Amino acid sequence: MNAIMIAVLLAAAPNTVDASAAAPAPAAAAATNPDGAPALPVRTIKMTVTKKGFVPAQLKVKKGQPLHLLITRKTDETCATEITIENTKISTDLPLNKQVAVDFTPPTSGEIRYACSMGMVSGVLVVE
């Protein structure tokens, strides 16, 4: 009989929660790289392909910083109708007068060459 009374009392009790007693929401963890270092924000770089080649032809970037390259080929008088990035599988067509996005994160310091598919028109990422 006591168990029935307790069940009735519990069922009749208002269903309220003391907000002050609730556990605080966990803070969002800061993004980190695999080595535990803080993640760098994505860097957007606009580039063009002209008769003179890739502009700019040299870019200083940071190791581990994601790059969002926005490339527009402005001329037909070039063999740079495609961009390839050295030691990666990146090979992307560059249609005339259309902006193309290429996302890439330099994994190591040093120089990384980018070029047309024949390697004749090129530039370099100087990774610090």
Alpha helices (H) in 13-106, listed in sequence order:
none
- Whether 120 shows a pLDDT value over 70: the answer reads yes
The domain in which residue 85 lies consists of: 43-127
Residue 38 lies in a domain: no
Is-contact 101 69, C-beta < 8 A? Answer: yes
| Mean pLDDT, residues 80-91 taken together | 95
| Mean pLDDT, residues 109-124 taken together | 96
pLDDT reported for residue 10: 44
- Whether 112 shows a pLDDT value over 90: the answer reads yes
Residue 51 lies in a domain: yes
Assign 15 a pLDDT band (cuts: 50, 70, 90). Answer: very low
Which stretch of 11-15, 17-21, 58-62, 102-106 has the lowest confidence by average pLDDT?
A: 17-21
Residue 56 lies in a domain: yes
Residue 11 lies in a domain: no
Amino acid at 9: L
Q: Which residues pair with 126 in a beta bridge?
A: 60, 111
DSSP 8-state secondary structure symbol assigned to residue 38: B
What order of strands is seen across the sheet that includes strand 91-93? 58-61, 122-127, 110-115, 82-85, 91-93
pLDDT reported for residue 40: 86
Residue 66 lies in a domain: yes
**Which CATH number fits the domain that encloses residue 51?**
2.60.40.420
Query: What backbone torsions phi and psi does residue 8 show, to the nearest 5 degrees?
Result: -65, -40
Residue 80 lies in a domain: yes
Q: How many domains does the chain have?
A: 1
